[in-house]
Structure 1
Amino acid sequence: MSVSTLGVTVVPRSIPRPLLAATLVGAFCALAVAALRPHVPLLIAATVVCLAVEGVLYRWQRGMLSVFAKSHLDITVRHVLRDLLLVVALLRLGGQDRESAYTPLVGALLACYALHCAIQAASVLVRRTRTLPVLTRNIDASALRLSAAPLLLLRRPGDRLLAYGLPATAGLLATAATADRRWAALGLALSLGLAVLGLCDLLLRLLPGRRPAGEREALEWLDRWLAEYRPTVGLYFSGGTSSAYQANMWLEPLARLEGRPLIVLRERFMVQKLAATDVPVLCLPKVSTLMRLEQSTLRVLIHPSNSGKTSQVLRIPTLLHTFVNHGESDKLSSCNPYAKAYDEVWVAGPAARERYAQAEVGVEDKDVVEIGRPQLDAVQPYSGPPAGAYTTALYAPTWEGWDGNPGNTSVIEAGENVVRALLADPKVRLLYKPHPLTGSVDPRAGAADLRIRELIRAANRERSGARPADDGELARRTVELDRLTSTGFRAAADQTERMLAQSTPEPGRARAVAEATAAWEDAYWASLPEWEHQIVIGVRPTLFSCFNRSDLLVSDVSSVVSDFMASGKPYAVANTSGLAEDVFRKTFPTVRAATVLAPDAAGVPELLASVRDPEKDELARARAELKRHLLGPDEPAAQERFNTAVQQLCWTAQERRARLIPEQRLSDSPEPGPAAASSAASAEPGA
């Protein structure tokens, strides 16, 4: 619902919450006064305002509903109070001699609320039948008798009470205005009819042939699917709502592997957090369900992160596990002692191998395998100094972290100085892409981030120039990308309905999304003026897209620097650790080929000069050497090395399982291909 006045659209979402709350409370007070006096015009007006505010709350301001619920003024209490006041008004208007005439109407109203309670109880039972022990994506699960959910009946009791009770409320209000009881009778009859139909619909869904498969049947289906698909390697992931990016970065390398890959998740919400992929997805929330993987053909699980639930899957003796991490940096988190729990640790290059050796956290050198970073294929290599009128600088600081180390992020101590120094050069175009968690731990980081954004906006106000003509390309690309990435189900759909919508595999969808994303990014950058500074937040454009548009990077000690090394372009690292520059370089190997910026950012002019004039770039050779040290050699390609490591570990797992279960010689297991046969050398220390 929106109101348009003189071409200006006012969306109720923008109405202040205190104003909505005050309006609702005032309407109820007016309704009480109108019922007790009684006063019909005020009664009608107050009831209409109450219903209108309820509609706004449920459509645009659902966050307010929890506030009312905590005050014990949830939708049921408000609805009962509103109808009770209407009944009081009818009795006051009719007089004592007509109280008995309204008794059937009051009884019908009570029956409506009784049916509401019955529907709520039935909905709980139906929801339980729709909670399956396994969730899937890209897997045909039609055998589980999945069906769409009646959202109004199952998941929206407040909406249901409003919708089903509206005829009764309207009828009572009409009777109060006209003194004709037939309006109330008609409204109550409609509400009763809707409630009976809703209850019958839910009861029918409880019949054995109408409800989804039970737990035993679903688990038997899972076993059959695993036996038919015969997975060889899986990506195992467990985490919070903001950690999905850690798994998403490995989806494309996983899909390009030889064999039959699989994604194993533990949290139900994570099924929808995964990006587009053609790989089958299994969500196994319970440990007992997870253990069924032991009897499958799965040999290797790849872990991009550590979590509390990782220890549960490590108990399966027939699987081998490898830790690939979701990014490498010089921080202590990149050599976590938990890594020794895995059979192997796969790293990008020699630098990470040295990091584990120096940390002495229990990871043996023979268990470290260098595979490169397959994700970095999207990063374009250095092609020379800036060719346009502007030098594009990317400032991508990391967040403050959990340990309070002042050297984690430069945003607090150096961020504003770095941005001011870059903006001071009239031939610089700045891209600012802060970490999405900036300010989540230290409020000072959040405040500094806001000040940096205002500095950039102020700098843009001082610049002017022609803007690219809007040919509608970005809008078209946005529509196309949104269409490809849309899930195909309603926003409030339950997990079973979402599973049904995504049960039909769509081969090639991930590639189509990748191509549409690349086209969108090209259109996005083309739609922006070359001179305009940009604050880049959100999922689009990606960090790698910013890499490709930049001539240099300014960042902190983080995986951003390691990934940017794939481009070979100049970069700088802000030193807010308090260490001397020589100690800083020695402590953090990723800084060896960087321009080190002090908190005052005094070195920015010299940095820009080295970017624009290759003859002044004294760190070019060091960057090339550091790139090999961090990411390994260019040949063979990282994806090839990744595939070789997977095949070799699968073969090792097959041999071990043959020893553990002598009666099973695993004749149905994947034979090692040429990659596995030649991978022994690459698996040796120092490869």
Structure 2
Amino acid sequence: MPARALVTALLAAAFVVQALAALAPNVPLLIAATAVSLVVEGVLYRWQPELLSVFAKSQADLTVRHVLRDLLLVAGVLRTAEQDGEAQYAPVLVGLLGFYALHFAIQAVSVLVRRTRTLPVVTRNIDASALRLSPAPHMLLRRPGHRLLVFGLPATAGLAASAATGSVVPAVAGVALSAVVALVGLGVLTSRLLPSRRPVDEQAVLDWFDAWLAEYRPTVGLYFSGGVSSAYQANMWLEPLARLDGRPVIILRERFMVPKIAATDIPIVCLPKVATLMRLEHSTLRVLIHPSNSGKTSQVLRIPTIKHTFVNHGESDKLSSCNPYAKAYDEVWVAGPAARERYALADVGVEDKDVVEIGRPQLDAVRPYAGPPAGDYTTVLYAPTWEGWDGNPGNTSVIEAGENVVRALLADPGVRLLYKPHPLTGSVDPRAGAADRRIRELIRAANRERSGARPAPSADLDRLTTELDRLTTELDRLTTSVFRPSADQVERMQVQSAPEPGRAEAVERTTAAWEELYWASLPEWEHQIVTDVRPALYSCFNVSDLLISDVSSVVSDFLASEKPYAVVNTSGLSEPEFRAAFPTVTAATVLTPDASGVPGLLAAVRDPEKDELAEARRELKLRLLGPAEPPSQERFNAAVQNLYEAAEAHRTRMARRLNAVPSQRRETVTEVTGATP
């Protein structure tokens, strides 16, 4: 039975048994059923939190369940009490009602406290001490479910003890203790509403933000809005952004996104409301870089003093790489000539003059091809993309070909497989998720069969593992802020007010050392399933001899190494049609869904004389990613500077035009230029 169904059945059965035992009455059964229901509640909060919302939607939230549990206990107690002894339980009932009244009062005050701590601007890497930020109230005071379970436990235990002993004393003591604890909690929360203990009000926060903008004087920003799983799209641009000339800033729109942005020293500002976002118009910010499209992108495009460019979060031959939304930006920055041609062929309204080739500055970390495999094993990276939103069967090979590809690779005793699925695999089509799970099990089974037939790891493994653990701890310290479990956004904003000096360089240095040790610590024969943040995709590129993927940006990025690669054709097109439709496949070996071409592909990787696509890869790399000189980071920086100058020129022209119209001068010059007419 699935875990959710089992938990639901146990909880329902506990309440039914508790009701029957209270009516019987059967004291041992009543107490046992009560204990079971409390244990199941704990399981719900610890391991099945998603069920809580299901119960709430059916009007059976924790408050209802807790009240029902206590009422059944009271009924059982009264049924077992002597007829003339029922009156002595009246104070217990009154106390219990008082406890619930305090519970609701705490909830009302917690809402008020939360409102005072919901700031119009959320930041990271910015000194916000002027806002009087403070640690959050304890989690129990903010979460009604947890609070009722914990604060109400003495009352429930007292009622159960009274049912067992026939004495009213345990019930009185338990209810009194619950009421006292609730009263203390109410007092603690209420004190948070005192003026001296609240953060500054909304207007003061906005004034502080305006002052920070005026002092920091940002010139270029990364604008990002997206879902919970989309942060990687912004994270891939953090390092190139940090290396730009000028003063970068990251602009976010969703509060939950603030902690999902990877470690960086760049100031991060979250502006959830449009009205707050519009304050950027009066700042020195002139260029916003957009790695993705979203519904909220149109809001920031309304700011006339900022120029906007779309850089995407990876280039591929998918239609999504030429989204018609791109014509809304001032410029579209692409890696190389192939993307320029792609936009021209797509005819989505993006003019050629607005397309700028900047290369892919992230690819500086990808090492070039150094020849065929030198050791006993050929390392193959299988990195399929996800199924996408449009339902196109050619998007991902996982469903139709994934298991065949993996079986063919595992059948070769000289292959070490690295399997790195897309993070969103299975998020749209359940078949992709199921295929992904079967692929993982195939790899685990292959490792179990292979492990007994290989020599033991080297004597240095313990030393490598110890050093790797040390570096992992150091990386976690550098890249992960430690918060209390009850920390809210305000407390996190307080903790992350300023990065450690030199942290960015330390992260880069430590990451390089960690990656080197990570691969060295693994048995050279062992297949790997790579799903964690570390090692990164480009690190997998560097240790691989061959990539097998789908039509995706992974292929374009891998071309920076000029190593052999293959693309799985699940589109239904013939191979000539497939190559013609997707230019990134030009220099690839095309695999059919049955993966019959894998042995020949491996032979070409191991013997350069059989590799007939080496020259094609060099040519395609130039076409997709542009020239090696000047370096991509320099071209990226130059594109930012050119767009900045265009924004400044536009701003100057607008100011002159408004100054030439006397009737509009006083009303609009301040709005456009931020200066007094």
TM-score where L is the length of structure 1: 0.90
Cross-structure match for 1:188: 175
Q: Which runs of 5+ in 1 are unaligned?
A: 1-13, 670-687
The match for 1:648 among 642, 657, 672 is 642
Are the aligned partners of 1:145 and 1:213 in contact in 2 as well (CA < 8 Å)? Answer: yes
Report the alpha carbon displacement of residue 459 of structure 1 after superposing the two structures with TM: 3.2
| Residue matched to 1:504 | 498
SS of the residue 1:537 aligns to: coil
- Residues 319 and 653 in structure 1, CA contact (< 8 A), matched pair in contact too: yes
- The residue type equivalent to 1:225 in the other structure is W
Residue 24 of structure 1 deviates from its aligned partner by 3.2
**In the alignment, structure 1 residue 638 sits paired with structure 2 residue 625:** no
Alignment of 1:668-679 (within 5 A): none
Indicate how the Cα distance of structure 1 residues 91 and 653 shifts in structure 2: closer, same or farther if over 3 A, else same. same
Kept in 2: contact 1:575–1:596 (CA 8 A): yes
Which of the numbers 148, 160, 165 marks the counterpart of 1:161? 148
* CA separation of 1:37 and 1:278: change in aligned 2, threshold 3 A: same
Greater alpha carbon shift after TM alignment, 269-278 vs 434-443: 434-443
Instruction: Rate the CA distance shift 1:71–1:367 in 2: closer, same or farther, 3 A.
Output: closer
Shift, 1:492, TM fit: 4.7
* Seq. identity, %: 74
Match of 2:310 among 283, 298, 323: 323
Match of 1:76 in 2: 63
Deviations 1:109-158 (A, max 9, x none): 11111111111111111111111111111111122222222233543111
Matched residues in 2 for 1:94 and 1:424: separation?
74
Q: Deviations over 1:570-589 (max 9, x none)?
A: 11222233333333323322
Q: Tell me whether 606-615 or 629-638 shows the greater mean CA deviation.
A: 606-615
1:466 aligns with 2:455: yes
Task: State the partner residue of 1:564.
Answer: 558
Q: Matches of 2:47 and 2:544 in 1, distance apart? A: 40
Flag the 1:44–1:357 CA change in 2: closer, same or farther, 3 A: closer
Distance in structure 2 (CA, Å) of the matches to 1:277 and 1:62? 32
- 2:285 is matched by which residue type in structure 1? L
**Aligned: 1:580 with 2:574:** yes
Once the two structures are TM-superposed, the CA of residue 379 in structure 1 deviates from its matched residue by 0.9
Q: Paired residue for 1:125?
A: 112
CA deviations over 1:42-92 (Å, ceiling 9, x no partner): 444333333333233323332332333334332212222222233233333
Map of 2:531 onto structure 1: 537
Change (3 A) 1:31 1:586: closer
Task: Give the TM-score taking structure 2 as reference length.
Answer: 0.91
Q: Could you tell me how far apart the structure 2 residues matched to 1:376 and 1:621 are?
A: 20
Q: Does 1:476 align with 2:465?
A: no
**Equivalents in 1 of 2:434, 2:158: separation in Å?**
54
**One-letter amino acid of the structure 2 residue matched with residue 633 of structure 1:** P
Matched, 1:300 2:287: yes
- CA offsets per residue over residues 355-403 of structure 1, 9 Å max, x none? 1222222222221111110111111111111110111111212222223
Q: What whole-Å deviation, never above 9, does each CA across 1:276-312 have from its counterpart, x for those lacking one?
A: 1110001111111100000001010001111111111
**1:256 CA displacement:** 0.9
Deviation of 1:327 (Å): 0.5
Aligned counterparts of 1:494 and 1:269: Cα–Cα separation in 2: 11
2:544 aligned to which of 547, 550, 575: 550
| Equivalent residue in structure 1 for 2:132, among 142, 145, 170 | 145
Structure 2 CA distance for aligned equivalents of residues 480 and 542 of structure 1 = 17
- Structure 1 equivalent of residue 200 of structure 2: 213
Report the 3-state secondary structure (helix = DSSP H, G, I; strand = E; otherwise coil) of the residue aligned with 1:132: coil
Name the amino acid aligned to 1:195. Answer: A
CA gap of 1:647–1:56, structure 2 versus 1, over 3 A, is same
Change (3 A) 1:527 1:96: same
Amino acid aligned to 1:132: L
Structure 1 419/56 Cα, relative in aligned 2: closer, same or farther at 3 Å? closer
CA distance in structure 1 between the partners assigned to 2:48 and 2:341 by the alignment? 53
2-structure distance, mates of 1:69, 1:517: 44
Asked whether the equivalents of residues 466 and 529 of structure 1 are also in contact (C-alpha less than 8 Å), the reply is no
SS of 1:345 mapped into structure 2: strand
The CA deviation at 1:630 is 0.9
Q: 1:22-33 alignment to 2 at 5 Å?
A: 22-33=9-20
SS in 2 for 1:72: coil
Rounded to whole Å, the distance in 1 between the matches of 2:431 and 2:180 is 58
Q: 1:52 aligns with which of 39, 44, 48?
A: 39
The answer to whether the 8 A contact 1:575-1:599 is kept is: yes
The whole-number CA distance in structure 1 between the counterparts of 2:39 and 2:593 is 55
Q: How many angstroms does 1:483 deviate by? A: 3.3
Match of 2:217 in 1: 230
Aligned length: 654
Q: 1:524 aligns with which of 495, 518, 528?
A: 518
Is the CA contact (8 Å cut-off) linking 2:137 and 2:486 kept in structure 1?
no
Residue 621 in structure 1 maps to residue 615 in structure 2 = yes
Q: Secondary structure, in 3 states, of the residue corresponding to 1:412?
A: helix
Correspondence 1:236-255 to 2 at 5 A: 236-255=223-242
- Unaligned runs of 5+ residues in structure 2 are 660-668
Using the alignment, how far apart are the partners of 2:203 and 2:138 within structure 1? Answer: 26
Pairing partner for 1:609 from 583, 603, 606: 603
Choose which of 91, 102, 105 in structure 1 pairs with 2:92.
105
Distance 1:424 1:178 in 2: 69
Q: Distance in 2 between matches of 1:16 and 1:352?
A: 48
Q: Does the CA contact (< 8 Å) of 1:391 and 1:427 recur in 2?
A: yes
The 3 A distance-change label for structure 1 pair 297 and 423 is same
Partner Cα distance (1:467, 1:330) in 2: 45
Report the Cα offset of residue 245 of structure 1.
0.7
Contact 2:569–2:590 (CA under 8 A) maintained in structure 1: yes
State the match for 1:679 in structure 2.
none
Counterpart of 2:509 in structure 1 is 515
Alignment deviations for residues 5-60 of structure 1 (CA, whole Å, 9 cap, x no partner): xxxxxxxxx99344433433343344334433444444443333333332333233
Task: Tell me if 1:419 matches 2:413.
Answer: no
User: 2 CA distance for matches of 1:408 and 1:43?
Assistant: 57
Give the C-alpha shift of residue 453 in structure 1. 3.2
Residue 251 of structure 2 corresponds to residue 257 of structure 1: no
Deviations 1:591-610 (A, max 9, x none): 22222223333333332222
Q: 1:179, CA displacement in angstroms?
A: 4.1
Which digits, 9 at most, give the CA deviation of each residue in 1:622-648, with x for residues without a partner?
211211111111111111111111112
Indicate the residue corresponding to 2:425 in structure 1: 438
**1:164 to 1:439, Cα distance in 2 relative to 1, 3 A:** closer
